[in-house]
């Protein structure tokens, strides 16, 4: 009997997870304020999650390289479910932070799903397969905030319980729908960790930065996500200060509709176009032009005042977001051995966590001084990444460029 494809199951699992995330994120700050949190305390919820994810990402990925993706995916999803339940049942602010810590400490759903896809697809098909995760993100941002708007009227707890229900559904989908995998081959590792698990050996992770191609890709992903985090964490504050609709400042309704439009574009782009573009142009070229479109979109956003032009800038930047993530992820998996893809993707998740820790307070600080500075910073990171870290024909050249740009932008320690 032929082995059934896991892609549909992975898509459903990621979609349900993203829906839960997009339901909770829009109301987290308001929910924290209901427990008398200050604005600054409320903004710490995202970094609290990201710090735990920073530590847990490579750990969960490395364990999955040895024990299998499906088992660790179940562990990660159960942690998310518990985090949502604790959040919904919170009676004080410290419980809200505990909920985010629990969720962050087991956060590995996305990187594990990516590793599972990588294990079960040919390198030439990976960008197209990873685009499924982009479709799930698009659907999540299209539907999730709408669910929050409908359920948050009577109680802020109701959307969180809905997210918990979706998280439990995701656990059941993984258990019943995701095909059981063969045990990963015990391939000897060439890194300093050897054949040992080496969870707490920093060298086991820094070894990947000694490989020029991987270092180039990891730095690119970090700079991309830093720019994206700057935008996504600061756009609501920026929009209500910059744009007006029928004489009134932007509200969450207008901001939510714009996010829904971006999600709709992501669905169209990654629903079939990414795979075709990869076959015609290749991942490297898509990454370059993705950074160009992001830089142009963010830079234009920093100077426009007409709300109608937001549709144009959103369209331009959505193309960049739509092609960069699947193309870079595909290149990462192609430059890592099968026995180490979990830890590489987990390490990449940790770099994204660093961006999530630093970018939100930086965006808030810049918006407090001058709104356009925050999105301007995002465009600087994108332009630096495109100009200095676009994948070169020779990996050594790409590595050298990335190192110079990373140090210039303060990312050399990554």
Report residue 239 as tokens.
């929009």
138 in a structural domain: yes
195 in a structural domain: no
pLDDT digits (tens, 9 = 90+) for 43-85: 778 888 888 877 787 788 888 888 888 999 999 999 999 999 9
End-to-end CA distance of the chain: 46
202 in a structural domain: no
Higher-confidence residue: 331 or 198?
331
| DSSP string across 227-278 | HHHHHHHHHHHHHHHH-EETTEE--HHHHHHHHHHHHHHHHHIIIIIHHHHH
64 in a structural domain: yes
Mean pLDDT of 329-350: 80
Query: What pLDDT was estimated at residue 30?
Result: 75
Q: Is the distance from CB of 360 to CB of 388 less than 8 angstroms? A: no
- Beta bridge partners, 248, equal 245
Residue 247, pLDDT > 90, answer no
Confidence of residue 115 (pLDDT cuts 50, 70, 90): confident
CATH number of the CATH domain containing 394: 1.20.1250.20
CA nearest neighbour of 231 among 366, 106, 109, 389:
366
Task: Give me the residue label for tokens 């998740």.
Answer: 349
Cα distance between residue 342 and residue 200, in whole Å: 16
pTM over 0.75? The answer is: no
Query: What pLDDT was estimated at residue 392?
Result: 31
196 in a structural domain: no
62 in a structural domain: yes
CB contact burial 320-346 (16+ within 10 A = b; e otherwise): bbbbbbbbbbbbbbbbbeeebbbbbbb
Query: What pLDDT was estimated at residue 186?
Result: 45
Structural domain span for residue 230: 7-178+209-408
Query: What pLDDT was estimated at residue 3?
Result: 52
How many domains are contained in the chain?
A: 1
Cα dihedral 284, 346, 87, 167 sign: positive
241 in a structural domain: yes
Query: What pLDDT was estimated at residue 205?
Result: 65
414 in a structural domain: no
| DSSP string across 44-90 | THHHHHHHHHHHHHHHHHHHHHHH-HHHHHHHHHHHHHHHHHHHHT-
Q: Angle at which helices 157-177 and 69-88 pack, to 10 degrees?
A: 160
Higher-confidence residue: 181 or 276?
276
């Amino acid at each position: 009997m032929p082995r059934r494809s896991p892609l549909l199951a992975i898509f459903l699992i990621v979609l349900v997870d993203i829906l839960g995330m997009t339901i909770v994120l829009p109301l987290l700050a308001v929910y924290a304020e209901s427990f008398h949190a200050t604005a600054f305390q409320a903004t710490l919820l995202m970094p609290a999650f990201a710090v735990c994810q920073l530590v847990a990402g490579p750990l969960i990925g490395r364990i999955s390289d040895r024990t299998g993706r499906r088992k660790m995916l179940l562990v990660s999803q159960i942690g998310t479910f518990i985090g949502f339940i604790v959040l919904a049942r919170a009676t004080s602010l410290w419980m809200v932070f505990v909920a985010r810590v629990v969720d962050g400490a087991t956060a590995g759903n996305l990187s594990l799903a990516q590793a599972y896809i990588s294990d079960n697809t040919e390198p030439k098909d990976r960008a197209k397969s990873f685009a499924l995760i982009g479709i799930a993100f698009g659907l999540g941002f299209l539907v999730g905030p709408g669910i929050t708007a409908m359920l948050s009227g009577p109680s802020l707890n109701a959307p969180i319980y809905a997210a918990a229900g979706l998280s439990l559904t995701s656990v059941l989908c993984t258990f019943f729908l995701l095909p059981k995998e063969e045990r990963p081959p015990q391939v000897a590792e060439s890194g300093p960790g050897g054949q040992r698990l080496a969870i707490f050996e920093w060298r086991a992770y820094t070894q990947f930065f000694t490989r020029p191609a991987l270092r180039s890709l990891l730095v690119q992903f970090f700079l991309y996500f830093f720019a994206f985090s700057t935008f996504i964490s600061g756009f609501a504050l920026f929009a209500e200060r910059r744009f007006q609709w029928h004489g009134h400042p932007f509200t969450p309704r207008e901001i939510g509709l714009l996010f829904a439009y971006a999600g709709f574009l992501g669905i169209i782009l990654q629903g079939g176009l990414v795979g075709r573009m990869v076959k015609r142009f290749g991942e490297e070229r898509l990454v370059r032009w993705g950074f160009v479109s992001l830089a142009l979109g963010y830079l234009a956003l920093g100077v426009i005042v007409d709300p109608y032009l937001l549709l144009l800038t959103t369209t331009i930047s959505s193309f960049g977001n739509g092609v960069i993530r699947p193309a870079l992820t595909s290149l990462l998996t192609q430059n890592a051995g099968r026995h180490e893809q979990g830890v590489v993707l987990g390490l990449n998740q940790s770099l994204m966590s660093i961006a999530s820790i630093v970018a939100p307070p930086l965006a808030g600080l810049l918006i407090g001084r001058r709104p356009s500075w925050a999105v301007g910073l995002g465009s600087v990171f994108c332009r630096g990444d495109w100009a200095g870290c676009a994948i070169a024909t020779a990996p050594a050249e790409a590595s050298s460029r990335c190192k110079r740009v990373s140090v210039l932008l303060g990312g050399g320690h990554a």
